[in-house]
Amino acid sequence: MIRVVFAEDNYLVREGTSALLQNSGTVDLVATASTFDELLEKVEKAKPEAVLTDIRMPPTNTTEGIDAAKRIRQEYPNVGIVVLSQFAEEEYAYELLKDGAAGLGYLLKERVSDLDEVVRALNEVSKGGSVLDPKVVEALVSAKEKMAHSPLANVTDREREVLEQMAQGKNNASIAKALFLTERAVEKHINSLFHKLELTEEPDVHRRVMAVLAFLREREHA
């Protein structure tokens, strides 16, 4: 069982999702919250292993989920956070992950209906891993390709598929199974991606998602 705090300001969504999490058999929902301040308070008291939070909550209904994630990771580095967003906004994903992807996840709210995927994401971030929604990855890649001199210009279709699988937090064996490849082939594609994206060595715990974020770094200098 993984101890989770869930934050969502919409009452019906909060109650419905809470029921799903509690009935999963693998989540111990220790607290819920509906505002930024309440989320921080519940995390301090409940000491969860992971947090699932909407991106928009009172008081401003803008980026409270991202702000809370950064604060929580700073004060409680062992707590993983999955942020839920209604839209595949590349700016939000970048803002959440630009200072380090370890222990962080960004999923679309539509994924809540797939409880297994949400639970997998919560477990992944609680262990220091990272998870990005496939649709968000697609938006990030598409945006980067439109920029001049993009390193993605040399990425093959197969390498793109591996990149998207990596961003979901999958290991080599899972990627190989999903793409009908051998693990050795997956390893070769990953090494090629790191080279093409000019990604320096990162700690193993989140270097796969950092491969996705590598091409976002140029945004700061564009």
43-100: pLDDT as tens digits: 999 999 999 999 999 999 889 999 999 999 999 999 999 999 887 777 788 788 877 7
Residue type, 95: E
For residue 151, the one-letter residue type is: P
Answer whether 2-131 and 136-221 agree in fold. Answer: no
CB 82 within 8 Å of CB 125? yes
Delimit the domains of the chain by residue range.
2-131, 136-221
pTM: 0.72
Q: Is the pLDDT of residue 203 over 50?
A: no
Superfamily assignment of 2-131 in CATH? Response regulator (3.40.50.2300)
Q: What span, in angstroms and rounded, lies between the C-alpha atoms of 155 and 137?
A: 15
Cα-to-chain-centroid distance, residue 209:
9
pLDDT tens per residue, range 165-185: 876 667 889 899 999 999 999
| CATH-assigned architecture of domain 136-221 | Orthogonal Bundle (1.10)
Sheet hosting strand 131-132, strand order edge to edge? 27-33, 2-7, 50-54, 80-85, 104-108, 131-132
Beta strands in the chain (DSSP E): 2-7, 27-33, 50-54, 80-85, 104-108, 131-132
- Would you give the DSSP letter of residue 218? G
